[in-house]
Structure formats: structure tokens, C-alpha cells
Structure 1
Amino acid sequence: MHWGRHHRGSVELHRQQRGSRSHLKLTRLDSPELHMTHAGLAPTWLQVDHSPSAASLSNIAPSDTRIHRLAGGLRTLGVRPGDLVSWQLPNSTEAALLLWACWQLGATAVPLHHRASAQEVDVMLAAIPDAFSITASETQHMIRTESALLEVVPPPYGIALILHTSGSSGSPKAVIHTHDSLYFKAQSMAQVHALGAEDVVLMPAPMAHISGILNGVTLVAAAGMRSVLMNRWDPERALALISAERVSFMVGPPTFFLSLLQTSGFTSEKVRSLRLISAGGTGVSPAFCEEISQRFSAVVKRSYGSTEAPTVTTSWAGDPSECMHATDGRATPGTQLRLSETGELQLRGDGLFAGYTDATLTAQSITADDWFCTGDLAQITDGWITVTGRTSSMIIRGGENISPTQVESILTAHPDVLQAVVVGLKDARLGQRVAAALTTRNGLPFGLEDCHRWCAEQGLSRFKWPEVIHQVEAIPLLGSGKADLVAVRELLEQSSGASSQTS
């Protein structure tokens, strides 16, 4: 086997440094009943789409013997409870089997994004202790040749998973989740979404992302439903799968659903099985929700969460549609919300992460009274939350604070604009100026004059108007589906010298 330079290790959450924090005391998770597989959370029907052929779907059934053989193979190789096992695979049968095999063995799964470069992987692995590194071919070999491990081993300190943040505005952080947090979140979201055995989810997000894990694997197991995993996003293929597999639930950023609408073969008949769409990330405006709801004839709602705090707010089944479209929902079970004096959203409760592998980062992100600082600005009205921007992304122009989210919402309300991402560019006189990258319907032109005319009609304060507009075919995205703010800023900086696009 090829282990590279990352061989083995375990995570203990820096208990010496953070032992006084109640949410980081993991010794209580040693009890077997809190381990997901002990608690009855096991693979349900997973289907992995490997190619454009409809016959390419491969199944992973409940109690799949390949999981037991793979767990036995990992143990033969020396993997022990608490050890870290990493892999860099797209959504695939091997990736899904590795996840459940690690959990059966009591090991910690560390899936890495399949599109990450070698340099990015080095950065990610530097943030965690040494780990076993497994390839797809090695996984297949163990499944064919190893004896099955039938017992389920509780993991030390209850650690199930390490994921890396997308790094949309900085370096990735290694985020620790326990069996307890994943199990609680899966069970509670099945309740909130009102999902059951008759439902089918289509999941293009990779299993190196919290949405791929939660909405494509653990939530599916909790609800007893079926999951269809795509190894890459292809709107034409997705449209065919929705129709053929009777997909009823989808979750993701706006780009998924906008690209489906733009597919030449799109008809309402082909998506009539879809009954619930949960959208999060940049560009989820009331206008987007209303259009998608009408075109798909489905319930569309906004959701808010992160790698550290997956889906902590959303609308519940039966909530008013106007709240689903205009806000990011209300707290999910076990989640507490509050705003700091500066308007930053802070969280605590069940289903959140246990900390970062870097104890210093953990200490910086948790308040003295155990609240997680999200770095997001928000408003809370009668329990309904609306995220208004990032504390770090706030644009300060001539001493005035400008929320990128507010400007994005105004732009995407224009009938010709599909998506918009707003950032601040450095300005020698004002400190920063407002810049926007955007996409339009069918590539219709939308220049600076159009933008200013629209902003005036919408009553947006003049100092908030974008001073740089750059129209693109597609917004640069990270693997998670979030806007790549670094790439967007680079595009806008490059275009800011063009006189036809700046004021």
C-alpha cells in the first residue's frame, strides 16, 4: 500500500488547552450508544452516478458487505480506533464505502476535495496529525481480498470526521465533527425538512464538503430515504436523473438551479417530482426563491450554515412562503442564536463542530461563555434570521459601512441579472470602492449605467452603488459551490482599469 508521507495519527482536540470548554469535553462520547452505527444510523440506499450513461448507477445497500470487508482491510493495514484515514476521491462508490468503513472501525474519516491541487492537499494535511492515505485502487483491492470485520468499534473521544473549510476568504481550517454532532444533525434535519422513506435526494456536492456528508449520506440514513450522488455537476445529466430517479429533494447554491433552468431540455414536467429545494450561499435572494419556486413548482427556502455549523437555520415544513424567501429561516433543533454588540451572529448547541485541529484557532473562535463566532453579520426579527454579510467582507467606503449582501440582493432583483458577487476593492482616496461581478440571462448586457439606473430605482444609497461592474459567463466557484471571493476579486481588480466599466 502507498501511504505517502502521511501515515497515522489520532486527534484528541487539544484537551489540555481546551478541557474547560463544555462542548469540547468528548469523553462522554466514548459510550457505544452515541456512535452512529451503534445508534442505528447505517447506510441506506446510495446510488453513485459515474458517467453520462443511465446504466452507470451503482448501489450501496444497507449492511453492504463491502463496508465490512473494507473495515477489515483497514484494520489489517494497522488502522486503529481514533486513527485518521484520508482519501482524495470524487463522489464514488469507493468514497462512500470508505466513509462507513472508517466509522465501523472507530477511525476518523478525512475526505479531501478531489479537485484540490497537490499544494492545497499539502496545506490541508499539514493542519492535521499524520493520517493513512488511501486510493481508489487500494480500496477496491481490500474489498476483493480482505475478511469482513463484523464488530462496530467505538471511536476514542467520539471523533467521526475532519473536513476542511472551503477557504472562500482565507486559508482552509481543519474542522472536527463527532458522531454525536453528525447523528443529532441528521436526525433533526430529517424532521425539519419532513423527509421520509419515499424521498430521493440528488447530491452533486462532494463528500469532502459538509453538505455532501450531511445531505447526501447521514441525513439520508436518518430518514431511510434514497440518495443519488453525482461525481460532478452537469445540469443536463442532473435533469435526466431528476426525471428518471424521481428526485424529490435538492440542496445547494443558486448556480445548480439556475443552470438547470438554462438547460435546453428543461421543462416543468421533467422536474415535477421535486417538492423541496433548500438553497444557501451567495445569491439566494427573494427574487431567486420566487422564480425557482414558480419554474419548478416546488417549495423553495433559504438555509444558512457552514462547515463548523451545518444548517443551523432554515424554514420548517409548513412555514409561510414569504418567510422562506425573505429570510434565512429560524433556528434548527438544538441551536441557540444571539447577536454580539457588533451584530455578529454567534451560535451554540447540539450539531455544531467540536473545534479545529489548531487549538489556537479554536480559542479564537469561541467566546468565554462558549458561543461560536461565525464571522457573519445578521439580523434577528421575531426568531427569523437574515444574514447580511461577513464581518471581514464589510466594505468601508469613505468611512461608510456597506454590506455586500445588501448590494447583491438589489442587483439580483433586476430581471436580467442571474447572479452577483460584490466585494470591496482598494482605493487610495476612499479606502475601498464597491465592485460587482455578475451573470445575466442569455448574456444580456448590463453595464455600469444600467446598474446605476437600477440602484437609483430601488432606492439604494448612492455611496453603495457599484463603481466597477464586470460581466462574466459564470461566477468563479469553489468546490463547495460558494463563490470564490479571491478569484472574483482578482477578476474585478483586472477589469477595474477599463474605462467603459468604471466610474
Structure 2
Amino acid sequence: MSGELVLTDCLLSQAAERHPGSVAACGPDIGSVDYHSLHTRVSLRAKDLQQQGLRPQTWVVLQASTDLQTLIDLLAVARAGAWAVPINSRLPPAYLEQTLIAAQLHHFSLVPGQSLTPMPSSSTAAPHLKENFAADEPWSGILTSGSSGIPKLAVHSHENLVRSAQGANTLAPLDHMDRYLLSLPLYHVSGLAIVFRCMLAGAAMIFGEQAQDGDFLSAWQVTHLSLVETQLRRLLQAPRLPSTLSQLLIGGGPADPQLLQQAADRGLSCWMSYGLTEMTAQVWTRDPQGKGHLLPHRELCLADSGEILVRGQTLFLGYWRGQSLDPARDADGWFHTGDLGRWENGELCVVGRADNQFISGGENIQPESIERILKTHPDILEAIVVPYPDPVYGERPMAFVTSNNPIATEQLQAWLGTQLPSFMLPLAFLPMPEQTGIKPRRRELQLLALQALPYQDPNSP
């Protein structure tokens, strides 16, 4: 390993120079690819895209899967000087079209390994591949989760992604001998964070997506794993866990403390993270001993209202609107997350989303507080609570759950009644539909609740 990290220089190029023979990617379908070879393949693909007419500062919507070709194309678009928007290939076309129209995104489309569509009008090759990225220059765009509506396009710079990786690797070390399962999608900022953490350290990315399969993790000697709570719950059902697994990063929302204790009892070190797309993933992370840390290159404070405010070198460039960026910062440079939090003995406690809160009979209800209790039930894997219209109370909680076994509504209400006040008890429990993405789209679940139990207005004729 030689040379100091240069923030503006392409991180893959630096990884290929510092760790040329280290494994960059491996898995059952791809064998083993070192950093020198990955760099070569990305460069060739970037030149191919340039020869097709791709020009700098052009958006490319990439149909993303969690595979090596998607990674190559994602990195190649950037080397060609263009800006990639990796998207979930399972999104309904109509929904995707609506999203891109809302972002006013003029773009080309790309299926990994194939040609651009529509073909650019010019096929004159660009003079060279891009090696340097300015701090205020877009590198990629990520569609935010859109829990309450149409997603926004959050734009990150190369420096955002590198600084995010630096902070994460400082707190939870990663080196060139480690193997990190690419367990989260490349269209999510947490998936990109894994890629940049590995390139920064010269670590291997393991392809296969089998985060809950203990045998797979053992066979590929996985050392690092990023999971959401549901994935962790399923992993702990495996009869055998790999001895190589040293670090688990848990995100996507608060996890059940009993579940974390189960993981600790099986020798797993869990790091709990609070992060968001706009801050390029992690902001605040609690180590396995329960101590919270604000990661380097980030700042965080609470407004008088309890809203979490963030800023720093990992804060995104802004939201893409038409032909320009909306920085989405206040006069002091703070981004208002919409998340509510409080300090407890110096530790950050994230309460939930301010826009998820609703009122039932004059009482404020934060759905996440009901969800946390529901997920402690031994048969419940997932739980999301949404408001449902009520002629007397205004709105009442309605729960969607994924469970191991059928549970009667009355039985669940009785169980919850020992832990929650009556106004927080869900009216009914509906089966959780399959949803794309890591975070739930609550607005869709509200509509499903109305379809399942149509609301009857008492004043209607």
C-alpha cells in the first residue's frame, strides 16, 4: 500500500494502485476479481459508453441488481463523466416514470451490460476518462425512500461518499483482508456505502445476497454484514453462524433490544446506526457496548421542537429539481431531517418521523412506538402502523404485520393491552404486503388499509 488518499481522485483508481492484487469482488457466479482487474473492466466499459455517445454531466438511469455487472456499469458511468441513478429494477414502470417526471430528469436508460437507450445523437468519443471529481460535482443520484409520497432525487458527490466511508471505517475498522457481503441494494445509499467502504480499505465485496444463510456466509468467509432488523431476525434462525463474522451493522430503524441480546449471545457484535440518504448513510452509531458515537465529518443537533438537524462533509449536494440543485439547507447549513429525537444520558434516542405522527381522540400517537412493542412479540417479524380514519376519534392505529404463525386480532390486542394504553391499540392487524426497498411506503399501506376495511362516513346518506 502506498500514497495518501486524495479526496478528489477516483477512489477505484486509488484502490487499484494501493491494493492491485487484493480481491475486490467474489461470489458463486463471478469467481474472484482483484482491484486491478475491476479497474480495467470499469475503464473498458466507460470507454464503451463514451463511444456510444455518452457525454459528461448527463444522467443515466441504471436498472440495478445486486450483481457485479451493475457495479461495473455504475462505476463506469462516473468514469465517463456522467451521473448514475441506480434504480430498483422491480419498480413498476408507471411508478418509475412518475418519479422521473417529478424530478424533471432528462436521462438515458441503461440495463447492465447493454447499450444506452435511446442512443445518443452523437457518437464522437470523449477525449479521456474522468479521474478527478470536484467537491461540488454530482457523482450519483439516489431516489429517497418516499415513505409519504413520490421520492426525491438526492444527489451525492464523490467526496460525500468517500467521507462517509472514512467515518464508518474509523469507528468500525475494515481492512484489505476483510470480506463484506453486499447485502443491501446498490440503488440504496447503504449499498453504495458498502462499495465505498470496501474500495477505501481494499476489502472484498461478496456477491450473493444470502444474508440470512449461515452456510453461505461461512463458505465465503464473510467478516462484515449490513442488515436491517428483519434480516438479522432471519439470520439468527440459522442453526450455524460463521466464526469469521466479526461485525454486523444494523440500520433502517430501531431494533428490538431482545433481538440484539440474542445476537450477542451467539457471539455477534452489532453496531446500531442512525442514518439517512441525505447524509450519505450513517450519522450516529452505537457500538456493541452500547455507547453512541457521532461519526467523523458529521455534525448533529436537536432543534427546540426535537427535530434532528445534521450537516457536515457527508451532507448531500441537494435535491435535483429540473436543471439545478436545491441545497435543502437552512441559513446555517443545517439539513432538517424530519426525524424526532431526544438526548438520554448523552445518547441519541430517535423517536420517529415527525410526519408519521397522528392524533387519535386528542392523543398524539407516534406509530414507531407501537411498532417497537409489536416486534417484541415472538411470532412477529415485521410491523408497520398507519392511521385509519375514525368518525369518533379522528384516526386510529391500523397495523400491518408479518408473522411466523397466524395470530388473532383479539389475542394481539390483549397482549398489547398489557404494555400500551388503549388509545394506542390497533383497530385491526392486516398481513404485510411485499414492498420494494428497505423502508416501507406508509402512504401505500394507508390506501391498502382503506381497501381492506372501507371507511364508512357516518354523515353520508
What secondary structure, in the 3-state scheme, does the structure 2 residue paired with 1:308 have? helix
Q: CA contact under 8 A between 1:330 and 1:383: conserved in structure 2?
A: no
Q: Which residue number corresponds to residue 303 of structure 1?
A: 273
Return the letter of the residue paired with 1:255: T
**Shift of residue 349, structure 1, vs aligned partner:** 0.9
Alignment deviations for residues 10-32 of structure 1 (CA, whole Å, 9 cap, x no partner): xxxxxxxxxxxxxxxxxxxxxx8
Alignment deviations for residues 72-109 of structure 1 (CA, whole Å, 9 cap, x no partner): 12222233332323321312222111122233333222
How do 1:360-371 residues align onto structure 2 when only pairs under 5 Å count? 365-371=328-334
How do 1:272-351 residues align onto structure 2 when only pairs under 5 Å count? 272-282=243-253, 284-295=255-266, 297-309=267-279, 310-316=281-287, 320-321=289-290, 323=291, 329-351=292-314
Query: Runs of 5+ in structure 1 lacking a partner?
Result: 1-31, 141-146, 324-328, 499-503
Q: CA contact under 8 A between 2:73 and 2:112: conserved in structure 1?
A: no
Distance change in 2, residues 1:491/1:292 (3 Å)? farther
What secondary structure, in the 3-state scheme, does the structure 1 residue paired with 2:35 have? coil
What secondary structure, in the 3-state scheme, does the structure 2 residue paired with 1:433 have? strand
How do 1:30-69 residues align onto structure 2 when only pairs under 5 Å count? 34-37=8-11, 40-41=14-15, 45-47=23-25, 49=27, 54=28, 56-64=29-37, 65-69=40-44
The alignment's TM-score, normalised by the length of structure 1, stands at: 0.78
| 2:426 maps to which of 456, 461, 466 | 466
Q: Which residue number corresponds to residue 229 of structure 2?
A: 254
Alignment deviations for residues 310-330 of structure 1 (CA, whole Å, 9 cap, x no partner): 1111124xx524x5xxxxx43
Return the letter of the residue paired with 1:302: M
**Shift of residue 400, structure 1, vs aligned partner:** 1.1
What secondary structure, in the 3-state scheme, does the structure 1 residue paired with 2:199 have? helix
Q: CA contact under 8 A between 1:468 and 1:492: conserved in structure 2?
A: no
- Find out whether 1:90 has 2:50 as its counterpart: no
| 2:394 maps to which of 411, 428, 431 | 431
Give the count of matched residue pairs: 434
Q: Which residue number corresponds to residue 443 of structure 2?
A: 486
**Shift of residue 379, structure 1, vs aligned partner:** 1.4
CA–CA separation in structure 2 for the residues paired with 1:92 and 1:171 = 27
| 2:187 maps to which of 188, 197, 208 | 208
Identify, as 1 or 2, the structure richer in strand: 2
Distance change in 2, residues 1:134/1:281 (3 Å)? closer
CA–CA separation in structure 2 for the residues paired with 1:406 and 1:381 = 16
CA–CA separation in structure 1 for the residues paired with 2:224 and 2:74 = 23
What secondary structure, in the 3-state scheme, does the structure 1 residue paired with 2:315 have? coil
Query: Runs of 5+ in structure 2 lacking a partner?
Result: 1-5, 117-124, 456-461
CA–CA separation in structure 1 for the residues paired with 2:218 and 2:97 = 40
The Cα RMSD (Å) is 3.1
- Find out whether 1:417 has 2:380 as its counterpart: yes
CA–CA separation in structure 2 for the residues paired with 1:305 and 1:47 = 26
Q: CA contact under 8 A between 2:215 and 2:242: conserved in structure 1?
A: no
Per mean C-alpha deviation after superposition, the further-off stretch among 170-179 and 124-133 is 124-133
How do 1:101-180 residues align onto structure 2 when only pairs under 5 Å count? 101-126=76-101, 127-138=103-114, 152-155=130-133, 157-180=136-159
Per mean C-alpha deviation after superposition, the further-off stretch among 87-96 and 72-81 is 72-81
| 2:435 maps to which of 465, 469, 477 | 477
**Shift of residue 137, structure 1, vs aligned partner:** 4.1
Q: CA contact under 8 A between 1:419 and 1:439: conserved in structure 2?
A: yes
Return the letter of the residue paired with 1:111: P
CA–CA separation in structure 1 for the residues paired with 2:179 and 2:308 = 33
The alignment's TM-score, normalised by the length of structure 2, stands at: 0.84
Distance change in 2, residues 1:91/1:334 (3 Å)? same
- Find out whether 1:453 has 2:414 as its counterpart: yes
**Shift of residue 41, structure 1, vs aligned partner:** 4.7
Distance change in 2, residues 1:248/1:405 (3 Å)? same
CA–CA separation in structure 1 for the residues paired with 2:373 and 2:12 = 49
**Shift of residue 39, structure 1, vs aligned partner:** 8.0
Alignment deviations for residues 283-326 of structure 1 (CA, whole Å, 9 cap, x no partner): 6221222223334x20123211122121111124xx524x5xxx
Q: Which residue number corresponds to residue 227 of structure 1?
A: 205
**Shift of residue 475, structure 1, vs aligned partner:** 5.5
Q: Which residue number corresponds to residue 267 of structure 1?
A: 239
Distance change in 2, residues 1:92/1:457 (3 Å)? same
CA–CA separation in structure 2 for the residues paired with 1:252 and 1:279 = 5
**Shift of residue 148, structure 1, vs aligned partner:** 12
**Shift of residue 245, structure 1, vs aligned partner:** 0.6
**Shift of residue 184, structure 1, vs aligned partner:** 0.7
Distance change in 2, residues 1:173/1:279 (3 Å)? same
Identify, as 1 or 2, the structure richer in helix: 1
Distance change in 2, residues 1:388/1:457 (3 Å)? same
What secondary structure, in the 3-state scheme, does the structure 2 residue paired with 1:357 have? strand
Q: Which residue number corresponds to residue 184 of structure 1?
A: 163
What secondary structure, in the 3-state scheme, does the structure 2 residue paired with 1:194 have? coil
